Structure 1
């Protein structure tokens, strides 16, 4: 009780979540009356990040920095525009499909929204699209970043759940494609009702030129994802090769990347990675405290009284995580919920931990797009000047279809585990 109260107080006064988890763990040790636990505190803190798989995080972040500075994202957008820009609502499809390609390299929703909103929203507004819709669509398209591999959130989950990082990344492919298809259907319906404009039809020569220009950039996700799925490299090695490939493409093929930019890119990647890794370290201590206090067992007793079968449990988890995701960002949400819910899912209901991880991550990512936090909406708003509240209302169809995909994933585990079985 004292620990829970301390957690609420720390959260309400705005203590950063990583520090909050460490302080709550200290409060629990004091409340337990067992000061000997302090001897294990540093070990548990270090143990939280003592994982080879976590090296992939700074490398994936670095790839994103290089892509942004090297003009790689722009080439992908140009190629997508040449092929589907002439359809009704073509720019909306371009926004979504280009985001899917970029998601296979960046792996971060907020970084992706910041980049794509800056490029796509002004262009869509110029062609007659409502700015609020354009910014909201970009925010939802950014949802693909933490789902389609590589995904920083999947890497964090795999460390928390002790499952192979490669399997976890592969499990995100089918759900990511399902969400993309669902979003395309929503764009088609909205385009019919709102009469979205068509773009200019590209000639065969223009299409060939854009493919030729973008081909080396498309090799980056092929190298990363292909090497992981084929077993030629683990996620960390694939990320390292992908970073080198991004530098070579940006510097020697596109020519926009200057080597003088690399120190700044490395610094930004290091700062962001340090924040994520500190959260993971704090999660190690927090999980240890939860297990010592038998919190998962107590929660399991409550859940079993409500959910009698795995499907009911998964649907209940969806509701719980959607609520949590509205007030807590993705990685902290993982860190707070996985140590409690995963043992119940695997030991009580026999749910595959990889299937469970996909559902948990998508739930928490959807929190990026739900008030009051809605981080992706705020990022899009900062770049475009649109209103976050209006974005949420205009893009409600995307929210509902995301929830439908979540229900399907919860009921049919094969949709998540298809690529690893």
Structure 2
């Protein structure tokens, strides 16, 4: 049996139709099965052969073309879809759907489908702001359609503003999120805060103290939590990673900045996952001028930074707390000690000296330790897959808390 997830992509007339072609290619490469239907105006921008080649499926353009006499095409493809994605959605198509008009292949199929439907508008900035368009979108939202906000930027008409269709990678992420949320309903609406990356402690205007953390593990956790339907806040140290789709990102530099960002939000969260590698020490005083070389060397006086995880563990109204322990030896002993000392619910421990399981790599191997004495092992795999395994264990933590 073909168990691929099935996406029905509706393309209406607009220059953004070329992005729909890119989206089709991305989805097929990600092992989705894609069928494309196009309005007559869409054919003025991209030919159906393009979508046929990219999707490896026939393209639907006319309600009255019925290649199989045993089936009514627009009903058959409407029933086939797991999700309908309308991209780009022109003002005209939005208006016709909002008013129940079904007079071509695209509109009749969408009207006949019971699958969840997403709409990605694309149009001139003033057209998007037009009261009639806004009214039609509000009606469709009331009818159960979900909208993908257009981006702001340069538009094909020469204007700059809101109306540019979201990028194919963002639309792909939304489709991923749709199916991931369905598989993990327990995460829907959970408020999750994740910290990621290193911190930098200033020595002088030129130098700082830091560590080798890339932030990849924390970003993978934030991305997966958002995909499962959580409302995710990501507090990130200085890294060069793109913000995951659907994640609210807060950039910080120092341990003190991260402490304030986390503690100001912690009690409003259901879960805090502290994956950041926070500097343990900072210079006692940050110099305002560059430190000059000295023949005899310099002594740098250090003081401890605030222990964010311990502060979280001491909260009266604390969320589920998951910490990380990056160690080079005695991993289990140090992890269990951290679990008790910081008063947290779980620790994800890994070896920073094991091959493929440390900083600045795309893979990780971890052992998870829980307050109830349980232990779980995650073998070497990509950090994105490791994030899935870690999050799979977290619902038991909030469930056990509710049971107490």
Question: Do both share a fold (TM > 0.5)?
Answer: no
What interval of TM-score do these two structures reach, taking the shorter chain for normalisation? under 0.3
Structure 1 or 2: more strand by fraction:
2
Structure 1 or 2: more helix by fraction:
1
TM-score, normalised to structure 1's length?
0.21
TM-score, normalised to structure 2's length?
0.22
Q: Which has the higher contact order (CA 8 A, sep 6+)?
A: 1
